[in-house]
Structure 1
């Protein structure tokens, strides 16, 4: 855990990853809320932290796991952890990746981006939603016996926004920023494009921004089979591969909705870089970074480049960042600060 993250037990090695292998090459070839509870913490010794529970839009009102009974005395709603400071000029919502957990966001566990609060930007981190793509699903995932339907788009665009508005997070010009990593990256772009009344900037970090590209539906299907402790059925999300909902939720197909917004995309090139040893030097860590993180990042690299090309064709300017690196937290932290330093939040 990096400096600035709140300490707690039950850490994970926060990594959002797909099992895709050579499907990355196919993509490359295919394109030339109500408050119910709160707590406090400190950043730079200033009390800035609050935890909220927002209406779950029909999903379970607990965060200890997808279908465990709610603990006695636990507040209802989806948990959201926030860092806010008087006088800040922007609020950013940070979306997690494929392996999001129910206790803390990977952003808090693995990065220092909560310190944005001391640099003018309030930070909001919704908790939970593994393999959800932050979407409203068609139905429950039957592969893992999920007894409810994901409604994350409802939570983000309705419940969360209402709670943030009620608690003074709509600052500056009155609109929010949203950023996501990996499976949350394309979701962040699409959510912003379809909700311009609330968002004026969006960022995808190592994201999958062209979901209807050749091979991508299969890649996503395979990735959801790798989620512990049981696989998710991708057909429960947007329906079968020919369903129009795939296109509706594809960031490339929502480019016109991003016209006039600030857009930031970033990716590594799949080559082991400076952060490859951040999670330790064990053989397992090195294996995951080289043999899983590298192909995943190569896929996101081709997806990010493709999105940038489509944006240029449509005359939509995009801020971009490319570096040596794999599909891991150190590089995503760097991208957030790069975006900040280049004026993305202004």
Structure 2
């Protein structure tokens, strides 16, 4: 989400008018989902290649594996899927942070502009997206068997994938014991929210109509976490957002700025505006969780839309996840 266009509402109508739409639903791919390769990266880190039958393609995962008998935490990347600016493993300290934690950590190294959801139609640019099927049905049993995991899971996402994490937990009841949503505008079904979704995908040349259909398609309602928060009862929930004001990570020597004044200006101006919008979205989410009777750990903080703050979120949310995962 960090590099999205600023004129989001305007892009909504532009995307609908200009981007190609494919009406046919994805066909079912042949061949079972399976692990194709496990490549040691040193220590407890591995690169794992999994064939997704639903998407009919290999998916590369980064995994931190402490040994048998551990639960699993899935970390979803931002709107670029980790393919352009980089994934969690390059932009944060997750490798080091989880090096002594009794948990498998799984990062899919792709999924740009996909919302990590099942699309109604193939997209001319992104191709076939059946991420919900992959993440909730295909992948967990494969990893549980290969790495002797406990079957207890948590999922967390940031920016675009904050919505994804909540939707995965809502649509797969019982699969995740905890869910984290960092710096995301998680509503999808009202006109302003759909404008944001369309603009995010348009930045990558994709069309949200291929994802959840036309704006009046019920799929938009089905994928609006704000309408289904009651399904998170019994799940540990962590929600966070900044207010857009510069804070401790918005200085020249910050990670991702690296002493570059232009990068710092971009973070403070563009990232500041974006996080102020996110903060305005997250207040209603926190209130709706309370209204639905779903206990949640909510953390509001100063700061912009930047990876350093999401690294902090991982550190803060880990005790919530650990308790729910039983470690």
Equivalent in the alignment of 2:200: 223
TM-score, normalisation: structure 2? 0.83
Cα drift, residue 161 of structure 1:
0.9
Equivalent in the alignment of 1:18: 4
Equivalent in the alignment of 1:164: 143
Distance 1:226 1:263 in 2: 30
1:40 aligns with 2:40: yes
Cα drift, residue 102 of structure 1:
4.1
Distance 2:85 2:143 in 1: 19
Distance 1:120 1:16 in 2: 31
Partners of 1:177 and 1:345 within 8 A in 2: no
Q: 1:107 aligns with which of 69, 73, 88?
A: 88
Q: Which runs of 4+ in 1 moved over 6 A?
A: none
Range with bigger deviation, 276-285 or 321-330:
276-285
Equivalent in the alignment of 2:189: 212
Deviations 1:260-280 (A, max 9, x none): 110001111111222123212
Distance 1:17 1:317 in 2: 33
Partners of 1:186 and 1:207 within 8 A in 2: yes
Against the structure 1 CA distance between its residues 36 and 22, is the aligned structure 2 distance closer, same or farther, given a 3 Å change threshold?
closer
Range with bigger deviation, 294-303 or 99-108:
99-108
User: In the TM superposition, what are the counterparts of 1:281-296 in structure 2 within 5 Å?
Assistant: 281-296=259-274
Q: 1:244 aligns with which of 206, 218, 229?
A: 218
1:232 aligns with 2:218: no
Deviations 1:123-176 (A, max 9, x none): 11111111000011111334x4x4x321111111122112211123532xx320
Cα drift, residue 331 of structure 1:
0.2
Higher helix share: 2
Distance 2:103 2:54 in 1: 31
Equivalent in the alignment of 2:284: 306
Equivalent in the alignment of 1:69: none
Q: Secondary structure at the match of 1:266?
A: strand
Partners of 2:36 and 2:51 within 8 A in 1: no
Cα drift, residue 232 of structure 1:
1.2
1:57 aligns with 2:35: no
The alignment of Structure 1 onto Structure 2 pairs a total of residues equal to 295
Equivalent in the alignment of 1:203: 180
TM-score, normalisation: structure 1? 0.79
Equivalent in the alignment of 2:109: 127
Equivalent in the alignment of 1:267: 241
Unmatched segments (≥5 aa) in structure 1 = 1-14, 24-32, 62-76
Partners of 1:17 and 1:223 within 8 A in 2: no
Q: Secondary structure at the match of 1:38?
A: strand
Cα drift, residue 20 of structure 1:
4.3
Against the structure 1 CA distance between its residues 272 and 108, is the aligned structure 2 distance closer, same or farther, given a 3 Å change threshold?
same
Equivalent in the alignment of 1:83: 64
Partners of 1:50 and 1:83 within 8 A in 2: yes
Cα drift, residue 105 of structure 1:
5.7
Equivalent in the alignment of 1:155: 134
Equivalent in the alignment of 1:179: 156
Cα drift, residue 110 of structure 1:
0.6
Cα drift, residue 17 of structure 1:
4.4
Cα drift, residue 285 of structure 1:
1.1
